[in-house]
Structure formats: structure tokens, C-alpha cells
A and B are shown apart, each in its own frame.
Chain A
Amino acid sequence: MRDIAANALDRALRPGVTYADVRTGDSRERQLATKNGQIAGISSTESRGVGIRVIADGCWGFAATDDLSPNGLETCASLAVAIARASALAKKHAVRLAPEDPYTDTWVSPSQIDPFTIPIDQQVALLLTADAEMRKNPGVTMSETGLVFSRTHQVFASSIGSVIDQTRTWSGGGIAAHCFKGDEIQKRSYPNSFGGQYQLRGWELIEELDLIAHAPRVAEEAVALHSADQCPEGEFNLILESSQLGLQIHESIGHPIELDRVLGSEANYAGMSFLTLDQLNTLKYGSGIVNVVCDARPQHGPGLGTFAYDDEGVPARCIDVIREGTFRGYMTSRESAITIGESRSNGTMRADGWNRLPLIRMTNVSLMPGEQSLAEVFDVDHGIYMETNKSWSIDDKRYNFQFGCEIGWEIRNGKRVRMLKNPTYSGISTEFWNACDAIADARHWTLWGVPNCGKGQPEQVMGTGHGASPSRFRKIKVGTGYAG
């Protein structure tokens, strides 16, 4: 792949091209699923190709192809340059890039057990056993399980002299039980909804999740929800479990800090952001205990946003996003950083494959652990605790959100007193984070994976990481989803 990258870069560097970079990708994915005790899917997918990005006549052009022959690379490079020159027909200003150093490096994400070496029949047997455990509960009307493994080898080469070779392997898995009765469908998932937990790890993640051990509880709760009381409407002390809080971070902090959104690049589709440039270093984004970072470095943990270099060849960095409640930083690219007077990109450009243009994407956007024990977080006279996302929605500037969870509990004097079904809550992003008054300590912090973040046109689906521990928020509006 290094030779192909070098060949493609040579062909892109033609008269009038002031910058070029090339990414070759070679990816492999394995997916396994069961439903109601039957295999519902076994598939293996491979993809290989190259994407060429150039600046010519002051504009960007990008072309990608799966034809890696010399002719294919030549055609692709010619098209990228022709597209850039066509873009100049509607040019307002020439693209400028923040400076970056050249790097020659090789990085492989650490994992203990290569998931592709585990026999498929062993992986299927695990899922079928977990599936059977859920269906032992006669109230379960549908059971689902799944595993997914992915490995991508990418070589990045650019006209400033970088050659960066990265291999990332990630794994994911989970189970879910559904129960239809009367006029309701209830569902419980483990360890998270939307397929479970995903991390930049190997088979060891799946072993740690211990899906079989959790199957009976998941089934029991899905059935029990039918007998639970409806979550009330009103203002409550709200305690969120860490996976739900991870998605809350994703939607109400992660997306708003994307500088391309702020600058209007995504206005037609994903939208813009309330975090206008005048808010930097001034906005009271959260209470004083709220500290949020955007950290792609391996030392942050094995998140779906962990890498050594981004897809512009910028080294992984840790950015202060919110420090003691104050908004401190955007995610940037080489092009956008310079528009706000930053001297360097902070390395968040990512593409979901060789065939797509890198965009500013979340890496690992995490709420840092607090100082409270779990008992202290739950120490309220009256509140509601919610667990596991069921629905999520936020406006196109990221002010107003509403989330639904699979299950809730009423809390009285620090104790769970009754199960609640259909819990939802809503609010305004900054008001919500300013209402945070307890964050559990590092013992309860988990780095969750969101595998399905959509952005861009054509849409790209990216995996992002979000670390969080259970946290408490005062006077939050609860029950909106079923109001009216």
C-alpha cells in the first residue's frame, strides 16, 4: 500500500497543484448476529482503494477509486485536479492551511487477542448461548445479539513529506431483549443500546463484557418494564448512567465544538452551532466541576476516536474543551484553524474510508471524572435515575435536546424505590451542563464507543469515543416525550 500511495501522490503533483495528500485504505470487517435463537447474519466485508485530495487554483478537489492500477491512479489524480479547477468557478478566496511538520511513522492500535483469529463457530456459539439465556424468560418476545470486528490499514502520504502507516482494530458486541404486551413494546440492552459497547480493542473486550452472564437480567428488566409506572412529568434531580451521559456529551458538546459547523460548512445538512466565535474563553458552558477534553491520544484509552495521526497527518492531541465550566476550545483542521487565528490544527480530521473526504470529527470527547463516590451522586431526597439510551434528538444549532432512556428508577433518600418506564428528559445544552452538581470518580468512568455518528455530504458514519461516569443534574425537565 505504501507503493500505491507514493505512486498516487506522484501523479497528483502536477503543475498548478500546491498541495496534495493521498490515503490508501485496506479494510476488513466481520459481523455476526442472532435473533430469536437463529443466526441472523454472518458476513465478512473487504474494501481497498485510494482517495486523492489536492489544492489547485486555490480550491480543493477530491477523487477516490478502487482501481489501483497505474491507469486507475492516473485517472483518479486527473479527476481530483479537474474537480479542484471546476471549484474555482465559484471561488471566494484561496484555501490556506495551517503549517504542519512532516512525519514518517508506523502505528498499530494495541489489542491482546486478534478477533479475526477467533473461529467464527466459537463467536456464533457465544451469541447463541446469550440469546438462549434471554429466551428462557417466557415474557421475551424477541431476542437479539451481535458482534462486529473491524480492521483498517491506512497509508497517508502528503506533499509536505509525510508517510504515516496506521492500523486500527476495533471490536463491538451486545445483546437486547424485547417484550411486546398489551399496547407497549419495551426493550432492554446490554451493555448499551445500538449494538452494545465498541472499543479499539480485540476479542478481550468481548470476553470482558460477559454477555451470557448479563442475559437473564436484561430479559427480566424488559419484561418488568410492562409492570412499571410511567415516568412522571416535571422538574427533577436527574442522575444519568455513564453510557447515556456519553451520548449527551456527544450531542450537546461534541458536535457544537466542531469548528466547520461553527463556520457554516455543514449548514445545509448537519447544521451549525450555538458556539459562535465570540463564546470562546467566555461562555459558562458548565458548572465549575465540569471538565471536558477532546483527546485522540492512546493514553486517553482505547476509544473509537483514538489514533496516532489524523487524516491530514496531524499528530493526535488532547484539547481542553471545557475547563472548570468555561468553554476553552474547538476541534479544528489545518484549514479551519487558520481562520480563527490558531497556529496549528489540533488534529481532528477523519474520513470514514479511503473513498471519503476527511472532515472535522469527534475523537474521544470525554467528561473527566469527578470526586464523588457513587453513593454521593445518588444522595438526593428525590430524583430520577435513567439508564441506556432509547432515543436522541437535538436541534441543528445544538441548543434544544431531548433524550429517552430504556429504563428509569425513582430515587428517594439515595435509594431506588420504584422502576419507571418510558423515561425522557429535555433541556438547553448550556443550562443542562450548568446544572451538573455531582460527577462520580474515576472508579466508575467508562470510555464508551458511539459507532454511528453521521455527518457530511455524502454522509459519512464515524466511530467516536466518550468517557463518562454517572453524574447528577439539578432541576431537569423530565417526561417531555410523552407530554401533551
Chain B
Amino acid sequence: MSLDRKQCRAVFSVVERAARARGVPDVELIIGGGSEALTRFANNTIHQNVSERGHHASIRVLTNQRTARVSTNRLDYDSITAAVDQAIEIARSLDADPELLPLVDASEIEQSNRHVPTTASSTPEDRARKVAEAIHIVESHSQIAAGIYSVEDSLEALFNSRGVDCYHTETLSRFSITAMAADSSGWAKAAAPDIELFDPIQLARIAARKAQQSANPREIEPGRYTVILEPAAVLDLVGQIFGDFSATALTDQRSFLNDRLGELLFSPTIHIEDDVRHPLQCGAPFDGEGVPRRKLTLVESGVPREVAYCRSAALKAGVDPTGHGYPIPNESGESPGNIVIRGGNQTLEQLIASTERGVLVTRLWYIREVDPYEKIMTGMTRDGTFLIERGEIVGGLRNFRFNQSVIELLRNVEAMTKEERASGEEAFDMVVPAMKVHDFNFTEVTRF
């Protein structure tokens, strides 16, 4: 159970009183936390099963153009007062920063209802029974199951002494399953605020089918292939570029969009938005400074258009902040976090049927940046890599290493499915389609 708005306000009143008593009227409080329970299974049994409850208060003071932040997970009067004192002491020890902005004023924020009581009240027994069913599906294919089933009940709240009073709570459930056969594996994952919006049993069937279909994997030469990336693979790879859609990253000259904003960079079919209010998205409708999140058109018809602005970047650029700032002080400024990539009108089966020779990729793994300006990423395929010939899946493949520019990938998109909420492991959840791309660059093959 998370703290409610009234309990959070009570903590803020302690912060305000403690700061005023030290002659500091400008304070900000961020409260986060809640509970998370996660049931983990492997070798067809539950082997780890955990629950965690906690909250943290992060206090920022501003005094004479100086600021500092102190965080604690102890919300009692004495601990909060001590944290305020410590923040003031740190801030006063620093030199003045003439560019430091005052606290933001309050503005109207449209709430999002993403807290589902039936998800929050899920019990360890509920999860264990569903996991046992999912394991049974995989076992019935003579395979071994591993995965997680989790539920979070969390809050984000931000208050400041200029009247900002933001509070957001949401639930999030995740189910992920790997099915392992003798020389192959399959994987499926889903996440949503409502535990009823996905079916772990259906995901277990998908993972088992992929493990079965990819048995006896063959090895083919690395090289450039037409590749169909399922949605989880798309988000994990394309998700690596969105930190660069940041005004601060552009100013720092660490963004691949330096000298490229406004140019046709990708296929004209690519349209990407950041939209916290999209019905398949999650997250709070305000940022780490208390600014309402605004919808951004990051890419329009293949052209990078808008970037996120925190308050200080917006002031320097003479524009309004977009509501994507990190809590101050920070090094990175801002970034979008609610990505929606507009899809097409094909089904995954149609993408496969239209492919003369290519590779179907379920999932990618250990993606890291090789080149920050060309956005060359390296990583591996994993848990379901298939050869397509004459429009059909003809069998499993040994996994590839890729070295692929994401800019080039988005330029080489041939077709897409309709977008859906997808969940991977290398980037945050997004709303993305599956993509068929030509000339995807596989550089090596591993041993399995």
C-alpha cells in the first residue's frame, strides 16, 4: 500500500516548517515508493519469491542561488527535519549559481488513472497458482520454464513551497517466461497496469511454441539480411536513441541529432511521439520539476522534429518546458519516456509471408552503444531466432551478434504491424510495432 496524498502532504508540511525555521522558504519534496512483489521461477519450480515495501523522501532546498538535495527513506519528523538541515548545510557551503532557476509555479495537471485495485491486491498465492499453470504448459512440451510474475503498487508525488501539489499512483504487473528445450529456447513477456490485461498462460504457450519451432538450430553465415523484429526487439534496439531527443544533450553536443534536426533521417513511414496520456502508456503526468508532461512529435514522416526541454534548457532556448525534466540537480537535463511508434497495417504473419529470405527475431540482448553519433549498437539475438524462406518459417537459427546503426535501421523499414504495448529488458516499455527492415547487419554467430 502506497502513502496517500494526505500522508504525503503531511510529510511536506514537516519539510516546509523545518526549512522556514532555518530561514529557507523555498523547498521541494519528491516522494516515491510503494510495494513490489515478485515471484520468480526456474527449473519448473518457484525458486525466489520476494516482497519489498518502502518509501523515500527527496528534499531540495534553494537558498541565495544555491541548491542541494538530500534523500532518506525515514519519514518520521526527526529524520525529515535532519534531512532538511543537511540539505541547507550543503547548499550554504556552495558558491552561488547565477543560472539556478526558482522553484516552478503550480499549473493544472490532467490526472491519469493507472491504479487498478485488483492488481494491487494480488496475493502470493494468486501468483503462485498462475505460475504453476504456466510451468505445466511448458513441462507438457518436455521443456523447462523460467520467468517472473510481479506486481508493483507505486506512487510519485512532488510538492513545493510555490504550491505545486502533484500526486500519481499506479499499478504495474509483469509476466515473463523463457521455455528451454535441449538446444533451443523461446520467450514471451507482457506488462500492464491491470493484471487482467494479459494472460500468462497464453504467454507460456507462445514461449513453448517458439522453443519447439527453433529446435535443431542451423548456422548461417553472418551478413546483411532482411530481418523481422518483433515488438520487444524493436523497443530494445530503437529505445537506445531517445535519450538524445533532449535539448540539454544537443547543447552538450552528445546527441546524434546535432546538425540533423529537421533533416529527412529515417524512412518517411516513421512517426514517433512521446505521449504519457496514450491509453497503452504508463507513468506520471508530471516531470521531476513538477511540470506537466506535454505530448511531443519526436519524428514526423522520417524527420526528427521536437526534443524535450527541461526548464533551464527551455529558458535558454526561449521556449516552454515540455515536462520531461529530471529532478534537479542533474547532469542530463531531460528525456522523453513515453514512446509511441506509429505502426502500419500488416500482421506479423503478412510480414513473414512477404519475405523471400530473412530472419525473424523474438528478442535482443546486451545492447550497447559502439558509436554515439551514428548510433551503431551491438548486441545479440536470443530465445527464438528463425530462418524465413519463401514466406515461411523453416526452422531455428543459431544466435547472431549484430552491429547495426539505428539511424540506418529506421531508414530501411519496409513494413510494420499495428503498434502495441511491448516489454523487453534493454529499454523501458513502449508502444511499438513489429518492423520488417532490409540489410540488417549481423556480424558474427555464436555457439548456440
Contacts and interface: CB of A to CB of B under 8 A. Distances in A.
B361 to A, nearest CB: 14
B448 to A, nearest CB: 6
Interface string B174-218: 001110100001010000000000000000000000000000000
A120 B252 CA distance: 26
Interface string A127-152: 00000000000000110100000000
A311 B66 CA distance: 41
Given A61-B49, A484-B403, A44 B54 contact: no
A90 B50 CA distance: 15
Interface string A270-291: 0100100000000000000000
B331 interface: yes
Interface stretch (B35-43, B109-117, B154-162, B302-310): B35-43
Given A120-B90, A120-B93, A484-B223, A400 B45 contact: no
Nearest to B135: A90
B55 to A, nearest CB: 7
A269 B132 CA distance: 19
Contacts of A60: 47-49
A62 B73 contact: no
Interface stretch (B19-27, B338-346, B349-357, B365-373): B365-373
B403 A178 contact: no
Instruction: Provide the main secondary structure of the chain A interface.
Output: mixed
B380 interface: yes
Contact of A79 (B51, B252, B254): B51
Interface residues of A, number: 85
B372 A185 contact: yes
Given A357-B50, A393-B368, A267 B254 contact: no
A90 B252 contact: no
Residue from B49, B71, B401 with most neighbouring chain A CB atoms (10 Å): B49
A400 B401 contact: yes
Given A41-B329, A42-B329, A395-B380, A457 B38 contact: yes
Interface string B371-395: 1111010111010000000000000
A87 B49 contact: yes
Contact of A404 (B37, B87, B370): B370
Most buried by B among A119, A141, A184, A484: A484
Contacts of B93: 119-121
Contact of B373 (A44, A183, A356): A183
Interface in A54-93: 59-67, 76, 79-80, 82-84, 86-87, 89-93
Nearest to B176: A268
A124 to B, nearest CB: 7
A359 B55 CA distance: 24
Contacts of A39: 94, 97, 329
Majority DSSP secondary structure for residues of B touching A: strand
A265 B74 contact: no
A395 B43 contact: no
A82 B53 contact: no
A87 B331 contact: no
A180 interface: yes
Given A82-B124, A141-B252, A142-B253, A38 B97 contact: yes
A48 B71 CA distance: 12
Interface stretch (B144-152, B267-275, B282-290, B409-417): B144-152
B412 to A, nearest CB: 13
Interface of A: 33, 35-36, 38-49, 59-67, 76, 79-80, 82-84, 86-87, 89-93, 119-121, 124, 141-142, 144, 178, 180, 183-185, 187, 263-269, 271, 274, 355-357, 390-397, 399-400, 402, 404, 422, 424, 426, 428, 457-458, 480-484
The 9 closest A-B pairs by CB, nearest first: A86-B124, A180-B253, A400-B446, A267-B146, A92-B45, A66-B54, A40-B331, A89-B128, A90-B132
Interface of B: 36-56, 68-74, 83, 86-87, 90, 93-94, 97, 99, 123-125, 127-129, 131-132, 135, 144, 146-148, 150, 176-178, 180, 185, 187, 223-224, 252-254, 258, 329-331, 365-374, 376, 378-380, 382, 399, 401, 403, 425, 441, 443-448
21 contacts: A43-B70, A43-B71, A63-B52, A66-B55, A76-B53, A90-B45, A142-B252, A183-B374, A185-B373, A265-B43, A267-B42, A267-B180, A268-B176, A269-B425, A271-B365, A390-B370, A393-B380, A393-B401, A397-B448, A399-B447, A404-B370
